[in-house]
Amino acid sequence: MSAEEQFHVNEVSQSYWQVTFDNGPVNLLDPDTIDQLSVLVERMGNDPNLTVVLFRSEKPGYFMAHWDFLADTARVAGMQPGPTGLHPYVDNLVRLSKLPVATISEIRGRTRGAGSEFVLATDIRFASERAVLGQFEIGVGAVPGGGPMARLGRLVGRGRALEILLGGDDIPASLAAEYGYVNRLIPDAEIEGFADSFARRIATFDKTVVAGIKKLVDIATLPVDDEFARGLQAYFATAGRPDNRPFTQLLFQNGLQQADGIETELGGAIGRLRRNL
Question: Looking only at residues 73 through 112 of this chain, which bind its own copies when binding is defined by CB under 8 A?
Answer: 102
Strand order across the beta sheet in which 132-134 lies: 62-64, 110-112, 132-134, 171-172
**275 binds its own copies per the rule CB under 8 A:** yes
The phi and psi torsions of 17 (rounded to 5 degrees) equal -115, 145
Q: Name the amino acid, one letter, at 228.
A: F
**Phi, psi (degrees; rounded to nearest 5) at 7:** -110, 105
The sheet carrying 184-185 orders its strands as 7-11, 16-21, 52-57, 102-107, 124-127, 184-185
Alpha carbon 200 to chain centroid, angstroms:
23
Q: Using the rule CB under 8 A, which residue among 7, 9, 200, 259 binds its own copies? A: 200
* Interface mask toward its own copies for 141-180; x: CB under 8 A: xxxx----xxxxxxxxxxxxxxx-xxxxx-----x--xxx
Nearer to its own copies, 28 or 239 (CB): 239
Please list every residue from 228 through 247 that binds its own copies, using CB under 8 A: 230-231, 234, 237-238, 243
Q: Which is nearer to its own copies, 163 or 265 (CB)?
A: 163
Q: How far apart are CB 181 and its own copies at their closest, in Å?
A: 9
**Of 1-9, 60-68, 88-96, 133-141: span binding its own copies (CB under 8 A):** 133-141
Told to check if 204 binds its own copies by CB under 8 A, we report: yes
The DSSP result for 236-265, as a single string, is HHHHT-GGGHHHHHHHHHTTTTSTTTGGGG
Pick the closer one to its own copies by CB: 26 or 131.
131
> How many C-beta atoms surround the C-beta of residue 251 within 10 A?
21
The residues that touch its own copies, with contacts defined as CB under 8 A, are 102, 123-125, 137-139, 141-144, 149-163, 165-169, 175, 178-180, 182-184, 198, 200-202, 204-206, 208-210, 212-217, 219-223, 227, 230-231, 234, 237-238, 243, 271, 274-275, 277
